[in-house]
């Protein structure tokens, strides 16, 4: 079949995209038409000539990935998905940015067919693309090109490259020589405030060259379809480095009123401006102009290209010798299938939970072909070291150990991209206080339901001598505030094993919060199942309930023993996960928290939120202090003595 539409069809398709890029924001009274208008030819070339994609099978594993990092231009992607037959129709475009529509203000993965990642916060999509390129290369190296052999295309703008995350991600991609990654830079020299010259004088080409990227200056070819195609084909063929294509564009083109104007970024176009622009384009002055003949032609073309490619791929997979491992990488086995491989700990065990998680990873590795782990220069410290696993690199693309370097921002975004690519179960780690560097990526992981695991060690002022800059106090409360993020702070080794199982089985991201210091094994791990559980024997008539998380559960058990010697019956409850508790049926609430019995929470962090579960709180509503960890904890009131004194004061 002919792999191109006719020149007239190309022209009409681009005009249709530009018309929708104006009409949808005008109807919504909100949106960003200027970038979408300028990039309509590029988008059309990508979808009609370059990308391997199948509108009838949008999630086939070996498709090319396209990420719109400058997600404010979402109407461009929606127009392309409409034109190529991904299920979006004119009525959906008319509901642009409206409640419940499949055309929200920024692209959302899982919400709209054909959208690969959730973008909007600038630079995050670019970092996601780096993660996708890591996943693609790792799978190709391990399972063969017949299983995995595709490209990652990402479209980014000035805003993406100003954000710091892009510097980290580009540096990492260049170091790893991710040559299936192609970034198109929409070089329009415009931000919301005005010209980029107001705030930035970077030489983007030199910057990316210094990272080790292959840089292509495309120049003024934004409307030349054949030149765009030739350039993208050349970029796709490059090996040994990721490629940056710098494309000079003119925001708002071909509007006679707003071409190259910063006002075109937002929504200044009124009905008169739209009509004037449509006259220049030579199309009817009607809203959502979409002639049946051009829509049908584009859809038939895309579906014919896509079906042939995806069908051949599925046929090849049937001959794959290690098909089971390939499927297991994409569909993570339930933890029950490998629970017997995981370590168990008796009550004599005295280990930091960050050390335990490393043992758990090693034990899980044979059962989880998708598992790939790394850290931001803290691999040994955080427990994210996979024993005897090769470091991921250009010379060892099958390596399952990633050294992200001191790049927490990029690490978070890359891990989300890896998870959304599929085929890998990515784990990353750093000190808990540095979760603040990763918060946008963690938030987007939750919004995207990306199946990844964030390991945060050194979870309290028990960090000690490094002082308040490195001692997390508010971080746990802030992670708990993120909807759809599973947060688990295990009390001891057995709860750490259970936390990993919960992460493996969870359909979304999990943050596991681990201790630097050793903790005694005091639980059987079962509290993780429902988010909360009694430690030791259930008391018939407790005088008080002590509820804690992490290392403080051990303090509660010690305090309970000493209180028992004075005739005070204290029941200890471990509550490693608030969100798991809230999702449970709470059928044992009366056992956990008997009516009329005072509840005291104990946690080495801010007390924000604990009043939902406790009548009284012991915590740290201030920053920490530089001192040996045990001293810092005692001086700031996290001790057995402090718990006993609190109980006696009631």
pTM (whole model) above 0.95:
yes
3-state secondary structure of 430: strand
Question: What pLDDT score does 315 carry?
Answer: 84
- The region that residue 121 occupies, defined by phi over 0 for left and psi between -120 and 50 for alpha, beta otherwise, is beta
**What per-residue confidence (pLDDT) applies to 77?**
98
Q: Which residues, in sequence order, are bridge partners of residue 520?
A: 350
Q: Could you confirm whether domain 8-314 is CATH 3.40.50.970? A: yes
Question: CA-CA-CA-CA torsion for 368, 369, 370, 376, nearest 10 degrees?
Answer: 80
Q: What is the DSSP code string of 566-597?
A: TT--EEEEE---HHHHHHS--TTHHHHS-TT-
Q: Which own/partner contact pairs does 262-265 have at CB distance under 8 Å and 24+ positions apart?
A: 262/190, 262/191, 262/192, 262/193, 262/194, 262/195, 264/33, 264/34, 264/37, 264/190, 265/32, 265/34, 265/35, 265/72, 265/190, 265/191, 265/192
- From the list 306, 301, 303, the residue with the least C-alpha distance to 12 is 301
Per residue, what are the HEC states of 107-146? CCCCCCCCCCCCCCCCCHHHHHHHHHHHHHHHHHHHHCCC
Q: What is the dihedral of CA 87, 91, 93, 99, to 10 degrees?
A: -100
Average pLDDT of each block of 10 consecutive residues along the chain (650 residues)?
84 98 97 97 98 96 98 98 98 98 98 98 98 98 95 98 98 98 96 92 97 98 98 98 98 96 91 98 98 98 93 86 92 96 92 97 96 96 95 97 98 98 98 98 98 97 96 98 98 98 98 96 97 95 97 98 97 98 93 96 98 98 97 97 97
CA atoms 440, 443, 445, 448: torsion sign: negative
Q: Where are the beta strands (DSSP E) in 149-250?
A: 152-157, 181-187, 190-191, 194-195, 214-219, 243-248
Output the six-digit token pair for 295.
């829509």
How much is the CA Rg of the chain, to the nearest whole Å? Answer: 27
> Is residue 286 annotated as a catalytic residue, yes or no?
no
Annotated active-site residue in 168, 408, 552, 603 = 408
The packing angle between helices 7-28 and 271-281, to 10°, is: 180
- 3-state SS assignment for residue 454: strand
Give residue 502's pLDDT: 98
Residue given tokens 């970038």 in the structure block? 35
- Between 3.10.20.600, 3.40.50.740, 3.40.50.920, 3.30.200.20, what CATH number should domain 530-649 receive? 3.40.50.920
Please state the domain extents for the chain: 8-314, 335-520, 530-649
Q: How far is CA 536 from CA 155, 557, 562, 576, 601, in A?
A: 55, 9, 15, 15, 17
Establish whether domains 8-314 and 530-649 are of one fold.
yes
For position 1, what pLDDT does the model report? Answer: 40
The DSSP letter of residue 291 is: -
CATH number belonging to the domain at 335-520, selected among 3.40.50.1000, 3.40.50.970, 3.40.50.360, 3.20.20.70: 3.40.50.970
Separation between Cα atoms, residue 380 and residue 403, nearest integer Å: 11
What the block records as the tokens of 442 is 């963690």
């Amino acid at each position: 079949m002919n792999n191109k539409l006719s020149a007239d069809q190309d022209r009409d398709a681009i005009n249709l995209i530009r018309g929708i890029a104006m009409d949808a924001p005008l109807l919504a009274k909100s949106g960003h038409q200027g970038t979408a208008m300028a990039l309509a030819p590029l988008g059309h070339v990508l979808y009609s000539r370059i990308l391997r994609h199948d509108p009838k099978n949008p999630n086939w594993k070996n498709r090319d990935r396209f990420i719109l990092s400058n997600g404010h231009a979402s109407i461009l992607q929606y127009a392309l998905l409409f034109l190529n037959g991904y299920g979006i129709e004119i009525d959906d475009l008319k509901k642009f940015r409206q409640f419940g529509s499949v055309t929200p203000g920024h692209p959302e993965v899982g919400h709209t067919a054909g959208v690969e990642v959730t973008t909007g916060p600038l630079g995050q999509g670019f970092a996601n693309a780096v993660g996708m390129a890591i996943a693609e290369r790792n799978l190709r190296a391990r399972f063969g090109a017949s299983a995995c052999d595709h490209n990652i295309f990402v479209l980014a703008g000035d805003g993406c490259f100003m954000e710091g995350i892009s510097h980290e991600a580009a540096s990492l991609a260049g170091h790893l020589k991710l040559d299936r990654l192609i970034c198109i830079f929409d070089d329009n020299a415009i931000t919301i405030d005005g010209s980029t010259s107001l705030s930035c004088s970077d030489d983007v080409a030199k910057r990316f060259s210094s990272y080790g990227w292959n840089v292509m200056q495309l120049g003024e070819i934004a409307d030349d379809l054949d030149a765009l195609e030739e350039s993208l084909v050349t970029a796709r063929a490059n090996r040994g480095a990721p490629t940056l294509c710098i494309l000079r564009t003119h925001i708002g083109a071909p509007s006679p009123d707003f071409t190259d104007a910063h006002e075109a970024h937002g929504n200044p176009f009124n009905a008169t401006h739209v009509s004037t622009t449509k006259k220049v384009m030579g199309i009817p002055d009607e809203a959502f102009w979409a002639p049946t003949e051009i829509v049908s032609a584009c859809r038939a073309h895309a579906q014919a290209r896509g079906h042939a490619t995806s069908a051949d791929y599925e046929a090849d997979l049937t001959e794959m010798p290690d098909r089971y491992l390939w499927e297991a990488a994409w569909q993570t086995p339930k933890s029950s299938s490998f629970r017997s491989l995981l370590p168990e700990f008796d009550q004599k065990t005295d280990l930091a939970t960050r050390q335990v998680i490393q043992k758990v990873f090693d034990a899980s590795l044979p059962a989880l072909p998708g598992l790939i782990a790394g850290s931001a220069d803290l691999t040994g410290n955080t427990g994210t070291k996979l024993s005897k696993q090769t470091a991921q690199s250009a010379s060892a693309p099958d390596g399952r150990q990633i050294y992200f370097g001191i790049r927490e921002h990029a690490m978070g975004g890359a891990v989300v991209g890896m998870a959304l690519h599929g085929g890998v179960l990515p784990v990353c780690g750093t000190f808990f206080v540095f979760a603040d560097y990763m918060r946008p990526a963690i938030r987007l992981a939750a919004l995207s339901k990306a199946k990844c695991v964030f390991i945060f060690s050194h979870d309290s002022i028990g960090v000690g001598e490094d002082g308040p800059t490195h001692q997390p106090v508010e971080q746990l409360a802030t992670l708990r505030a993120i909807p759809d993020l599973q947060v688990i702070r295990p009390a001891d080794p057995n709860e750490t094993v259970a936390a990993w199982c919960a992460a493996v089985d969870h359909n979304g991201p999990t943050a596991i919060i681990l201790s630097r210091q050793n903790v005694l094994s005091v639980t059987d791990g079962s509290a993780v199942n429902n988010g909360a559980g009694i430690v030791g024997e259930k008391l018939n008539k407790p005088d008080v309930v002590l509820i804690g998380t992490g290392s403080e559960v051990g303090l509660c058990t010690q305090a309970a023993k000493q209180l028992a010697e004075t005739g005070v019956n204290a029941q200890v409850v471990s509550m490693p996960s608030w969100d798991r508790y809230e999702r449970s049926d709470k059928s044992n609430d009366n056992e956990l928290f008997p009516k009329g019995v005072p509840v005291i929470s104990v946690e080495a962090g801010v007390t924000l939120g604990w009043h939902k579960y406790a009548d009284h709180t012991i915590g740290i509503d201030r920053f920490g202090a530089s001192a040996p960890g045990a001293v810092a904890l005692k001086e700031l009131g996290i001790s057995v003595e402090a718990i006993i004194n609190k109980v006696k004061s009631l």
